[in-house]
């Protein structure tokens, strides 16, 4: 087989973090270029997918939006184990949501302990950047925590579509660089089925959706 030809990798990205931080809005903005003005809370999880081009490689990103209700964590073991990438989202206008970041990162790392991947692919995302007047968490605080934890960091706005695509692309780029550099085997990013049914939950409706 000619290894210089087009490649196709499947990257499963699990979006985690406290409730009301905009995980669903980020996923919908990236996958559908939509923003819902009054999204309902995710009951358990939502699902979207989108193809991303990285050089001569197509990355099929499957996104799983996990409920921020920590009571559902025990029902999501398959997602944590099989999703190679994690996007950990907090609200820059909520110090309380940022204070829960260590809990969610510890959860991610606990599942990574049995992963065949050499390191966790995690990005910390401070969302709702459009609400600067209500900011409670500084950019420096988020960046410092990410640096200390050896994970990626960015701030986004799903409402104004600020840095949303670049956040997801950064995770894809990271994976592709590691595959090309021999850090991780490509077989870990094949089109395997995940153990959880990729059905949309009952609240995964568009509601008041502005599509472009």
Show the domains of the chain with their CATH numbers. 8-196 (3.40.50.300)
Q: What is the chain's pLDDT, residue by residue, as a tens digit (212 residues)? A: 345 556 789 999 999 999 999 999 999 999 999 987 755 554 456 889 999 999 888 999 999 988 876 766 766 777 888 899 999 999 999 999 999 999 999 999 999 988 999 999 999 999 999 999 999 999 999 999 999 999 999 999 999 999 999 999 999 999 999 999 999 999 999 754 444 444 433 333 333 333 33
- Say how far apart CA 98 and CA 186 lie, in whole Å: 34
pLDDT of residue 195: 43
pLDDT of residue 56: 86
pLDDT of residue 81: 85
pLDDT of residue 43: 45
Reading the block at residue 166, the tokens are 């670049």
Residue 135, classified by CB atoms within 10 Å of its CB into exposed (0-12), middle (13-18) or buried (19+), is middle
Reading the block at residue 190, the tokens are 């094949």
Reading the block at residue 134, the tokens are 């209500």
- Say how far apart CA 172 and CA 176 lie, in whole Å: 6
User: What's the pTM?
Assistant: 0.85
pLDDT of residue 6: 65
pLDDT of residue 48: 93
pLDDT of residue 191: 58
Nearest to 11 by CA among 90, 56, 64: 64
What value, to the nearest 5°, has the Cα angle with vertex 17 and ends 14 and 18? 145
- Say how far apart CA 81 and CA 114 lie, in whole Å: 8
Contact 124, 23 (CB under 8 A): no
């Amino acid at each position: 087989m000619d290894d210089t030809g087009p490649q196709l990798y499947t990257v499963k990205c699990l979006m985690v973090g406290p409730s009301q931080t905009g995980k669903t809005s980020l996923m919908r903005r990236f996958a559908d270029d939509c923003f819902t003005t009054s999204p309902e809370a995710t009951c358990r999880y939502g699902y979207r997918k989108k193809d991303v081009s990285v050089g001569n490689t197509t990355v099929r990103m499957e996104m799983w939006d996990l409920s921020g209700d920590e009571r559902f964590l025990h029902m999501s073991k398959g997602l944590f184990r099989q999703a190679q990438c994690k996007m950990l989202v907090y609200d820059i206008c909520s110090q309380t949501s940022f204070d829960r970041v260590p809990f969610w990162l510890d959860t991610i790392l606990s599942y990574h302990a049995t992963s065949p991947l050499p390191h966790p692919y995690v990005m910390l995302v401070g969302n709702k950047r459009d609400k600067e007047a209500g900011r409670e968490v500084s950019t420096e605080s988020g960046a410092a925590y990410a640096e200390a934890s050896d994970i990626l960091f960015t701030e986004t706005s799903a409402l104004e579509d600020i840095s949303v695509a670049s956040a997801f692309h950064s995770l894809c780029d990271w994976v592709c660089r590691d595959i090309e550099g021999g850090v991780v085997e490509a077989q870990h990013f094949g089109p395997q089925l995940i153990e959880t049914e990729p059905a949309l939950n009952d609240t995964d409706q568009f509601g008041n959706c502005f599509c472009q």
